[in-house]
A = this chain, B = another copy of it.
Amino acid sequence: MTAPHTNVQKISEMASRHLSSLSVDCVVFGFHKNEMKVLLLKIPYKDEWALPGGFILRDESAENAASRILKERTGLDGVFLRQFHVFSDPGRVKPRDHRDNLTRMNIPENDIKWLCSRFVTIGFYALVDYTRAVPTPDEFTTRSEWRDLTDPGMLMMDHRVIVNTALDTLRLQLNNLPIGYNLLREKFTMPELQKLYETILGRKLDRRNFQRKILSYRILLRLDERKTGVAHKAPVLYRFDYDGYHRALEEGLKGGF
């Protein structure tokens, strides 16, 4: 180690590699057994959960940081991922609590100092296939789990607000974007897709009207197959039509006025 600036506190590893004051948090939505799920990380020594998040490397974009973090926490690549809001309330972190918690773990003091400084966080939300994601904790957490969106437990800092804002955004986007591609498996049935919409919106939809509307978007491809091994009448399988889906992503699904 060179020592020209003995008085200067060694810059922490984290601080030197990342942009300061800025973080990224991901609200990762999944869908399983007719329930919306969020991917959360367990904070050690506390009955609290946190969103998977991280920092922006000195030469990457926020989008890149978010997809990097998502990949690290789920193993998934190329999923639907969008920024939706910036959370910048100066009081969003309680530095005291935060520091107490970090000192219990083996975090170097310099990193702790950096981690306890003020952060503005960019919220991203992601839609992922529940069956393909492999929840993986990060260096600050002990486990990673899918939690019920309606009852995720205690969340750290303002993460509950972030989740709620993400859900509000998702509900709004539902009318403009072809959601579902990333939340369901490749092949799915119309009732499954409808359940997804109902779950996100939090209300029942008419089966027949739903089908008519969703088909009018021309983003689905009806397969010549039916779901097997299921009770009652076997439903037809669909998958997203690549061209139609991407056209809809660009142009939106409907217009006002």
Select A90's contact among B21, B61, B88, beta carbons within 8 Å. B61
Stretch at the interface among A26-34, A143-151, A171-179: A171-179
Q: Which residues of B contact A256 (CB under 8 A)?
A: 174-176, 254
Q: Which residues of B contact A85 (CB under 8 A)?
A: 83
CB distance from A59 to the nearest CB of B (A): 5
Stretch at the interface among A4-12, A68-76, A105-113, A134-142: A4-12
Q: For the complex, would chain A's binding face be called helix, strand, loop or mixed by DSSP majority? A: loop
A58 interfacial by beta-carbon distance below 8 Å: yes
Select A22's contact among B60, B61, B120, B213, beta carbons within 8 Å. B120
Provide the bound-state CA to CA distance between A86 and B22, in Å.
Answer: 12
Chain B, residue nearest A253 (CB):
B256
The answer to whether B5 and A120 have CB atoms under 8 Å apart is: no
Provide the bound-state CA to CA distance between A59 and B21, in Å.
Answer: 12
A56 interfacial by beta-carbon distance below 8 Å: yes
Q: Mark A200-240, 1 if CB is under 8 A from B, else 0.
A: 01000100000001000000000000000000000000000
What are the nearest 7 A-B pairs in CB distance? A175-B256, A62-B88, A19-B21, A61-B88, A59-B90, A61-B89, A20-B20
Residues of A within 8 A of B (CB): 4-5, 7-8, 19-22, 56, 58-63, 83, 85-86, 88-90, 118, 120, 122, 172, 174-176, 197, 201, 205, 213, 252, 254-257
